[in-house]
Amino acid sequence: MLGRSNQLECFGSNYLSLVLMPTEACNFRCTYCYETFEHKKMSRRVITGIKSLIERRADDLDQLNIEWFGGEPTLAFDIVTDICQHAIGVAKSKGFKFTSGMTTNGYLLNQKRFLTCLDNEIRTFQISLDGGPSDHDLSRKLASGEGTFDRIWANLLAMKKMAGDFFILLRLHYTYDNFASVGQFARSIGESLQHDPRFGYYFHPIVRLGGPNDESITEMSAQDKKEIEAHLWQSSGLHKSPETPTHEDYICYAAKGNSLVIRSTGRLAKCTVALTHDFNDIGVINENGEISVDQAKFRRWIRPTLEANWEVASCPVNWVAEQAANDAAQQREFA
């Protein structure tokens, strides 16, 4: 994680961070989800473009990091392994470091797929749980309506038994209604996983992200969030690991000049949340690896980091939306 002391690293050409969405389909229908699932698996044209981009940048790189996102990336596992194997080969021939991680719901991440991830240098994972089985299955359910907790938990226990160098960040969601039970559940997780240092924990409230059920989600004040999370850490008996995100020393990937999101369609974005907004549609990747970027849109996203506006740089999406609206209003005024 890059903090504020590493401001210049957010723009260095020797580092490249790609957030890849190999599919925007998902096997879950979480009640608070904001995604539309209209775009399916990445086409061969886009896959070729990503491989070509890696080759184009290879001579300048010290490190390439690929984060897998979706939809649910394990639904396009063949694309994940294909691109990783290509990146590993280029990294070996050109002498740069390749690292990779995955944000996944964990449902399909069985032992075989997990070991394949490790073989392909995917070694960090973020998996969300919405509390214990009854709470989780109310909000994180399959498209069929079935619950998902038991399968995810079985996969996590299987990972615990495996040898290997990996880190799994469990993002534990809470609300005003369930935070007390989430704290108790978190304590039981730590005990079940025997406080294995390869597992970390992160408490996060369920928030409005633009989904159809936003109105049913109660917004939480910053002070309530602070107090509830202090309670959660205390009641859970867990400790923050170095990999646990902290708002105080965090620059969002969207606010970095050397980070791009590549959607399954080949369209480029900066943020994985505002996927339906024009201000986040910044360009396209071509099959030869060239990227075409709307520079005005791109500059909005990185401006908070350039200006050391740290509060905004930690999550720039609302600020960028406001700036885009202001710019559009000025253009209409002078048209």
- At residue 241, the pLDDT reads 74
pTM reported for the whole predicted model: 0.94
Q: How many CB atoms lie within 10 A of CB 252?
A: 21
Per-residue b or e along 210-234, where b marks 16 or more CB atoms closer than 10 Å to that residue's CB: ebeeeeebeebeeeebeebbebbbe
What class is the 4-334 domain? Answer: alpha beta
Question: CA dist 212 to 36, 140, 209, 217, Å?
Answer: 10, 15, 9, 10
- At residue 333, the pLDDT reads 79
Check pLDDT > 50 for residue 308.
Answer: yes
Q: Looking at this protein, which amino acid is placed at residue 173?
A: H
pLDDT band at 2 (very low <50, low <70, confident <90, very high): very low
Domain range list for the chain: 4-334
User: pLDDT for 73-94, tens place per residue?
Assistant: 999 999 999 999 999 999 999 9
pLDDT band at 4 (very low <50, low <70, confident <90, very high): low
User: pLDDT for 199-258, tens place per residue?
Assistant: 999 999 999 988 889 999 999 999 999 999 999 999 999 988 776 666 556 899 999 999
